[in-house]
Structure 1
């Protein structure tokens, strides 16, 4: 009886499990396509955000050069640039007026963190955020503040490029704009100072932007990621039109993995529910189904016993007839 019940339960359970497997297969295919779609949407969204950020960076650079162009033609710069040696009190006063003009232009445009002008003849620097002029004896101190050598500084100030840049240590960058006299001789260099985060702006609370130069030696960034942290981000790349820079955006894939975890939880819950329903349903229906089936088996056994007894009785009668001579042939072996 137990064997019959076990077979009935097992056959119903297998039927349920096959049905559950079919349902799970459809669910897995559906959720897998959904996850693929979510990842695709994350990349598309990051690409759109990337275009916005790159457009803003390039616009900031253009506006910075426009600011430098405006400062180059403003009154007072040419006069101060022609001064050699030490400044007289009046010339110091004129330089302070130029510094105020630099500060006003920078405040009006709200772009760079600082504006500097290097005057070649007097070998001095005037900065919008400084209350004093950096004389020849202060150049080395000025360079140390930015982690560069005086030799590198003078090399940059004499480069032939009309518009160039230089990435400094500590995530800072300078954009240079030379100023020439009427004979096309260089008399000054205006350079706008940015930090990486100021130039890039806000790419999003969790996103990170990295800008690589063509040489891939100098990098500026909105915030720094360690190499082991980059594994938790989706990388989107875009080539910039200015200076042939390459811009990389790192988008946290927590949204993607969040969807993946949610899918795993739903799949696990669905699997447990289906197995529970299959076991309980199989037990219930096997119990219901086995009652008539069990009766049939029992009746079949009873009939088999009766048939067997009748067969044995007939054999005995035939044997008796054979032994008494009533019949000459015995049909059973």
Structure 2
């Protein structure tokens, strides 16, 4: 198994990518290809891990920056690290592509080079949220700001497959994010999507609010990319506010510092739950290839986590399951269940 890593994706590229790849190969003992400016990457790699035979470099002279517009950058920078990275997957030189770069750029290049799985209308960016019980898959979290009900139905199907084969949940509970639990609550998109999910063969449990999501009442939660992105960023901000405030309060005096020391294992567990770097990246489900997008602020640990997640998806044949299950469950013509 080989993973292709965009070495020019994160805000502080290529240092987090190089360090993350070095740690990942220690765990995986599988090759990783760094794609990016070789003149910058090679000296750093040789200094940090000289002679590492599991990490190789493919030169890509151009970079899609965070502020770049996806279509324009693809035209003006055809040899960017994202484009070359997904092309390597297309050619069979890698089994998955990981980037911490521009989400729109990753989406555009993945669609342009790899295309969609047959029957999928829109790919969805997918996140794992911590809950009181375990984890919950939420999609879409930013790939599609404007959605139709049939898009959300497909997101639910793909999230269901991901929960089955990555989280090992036999019959995932699928919920629809809304402003109320009752069937009639929500905007028109939610109301129409509810009808489709209700008719599907999924284990649909109805509308859920944020409290049910974080309470662990659902395994898969579906929403449009605009709402999902706000939910994700808002949750991350609240988690950071709580942990930063708690840390500041615990460091105020000698007695609180002693209390913090005694409670260190509990705090470490909480940090692990709310730290995005523990998951590392979100898969773009629906792309006809394994593509994972991490946060621009990713550090080395986040990159390592993203690479481990990609490796897990490869080992569990996620792409083949998506292809097969979507073909079995979707009407390609209408995007509805047969």
Structure-1-length-normalised TM-score:
0.20
Structure 1 or 2: more helix by fraction: 1
The one of the two structures with greater contact order (alpha-carbon pairs below 8 A, sep at least 6) is 2
Q: Which has the larger radius of gyration?
A: 1
Structure-2-length-normalised TM-score:
0.20
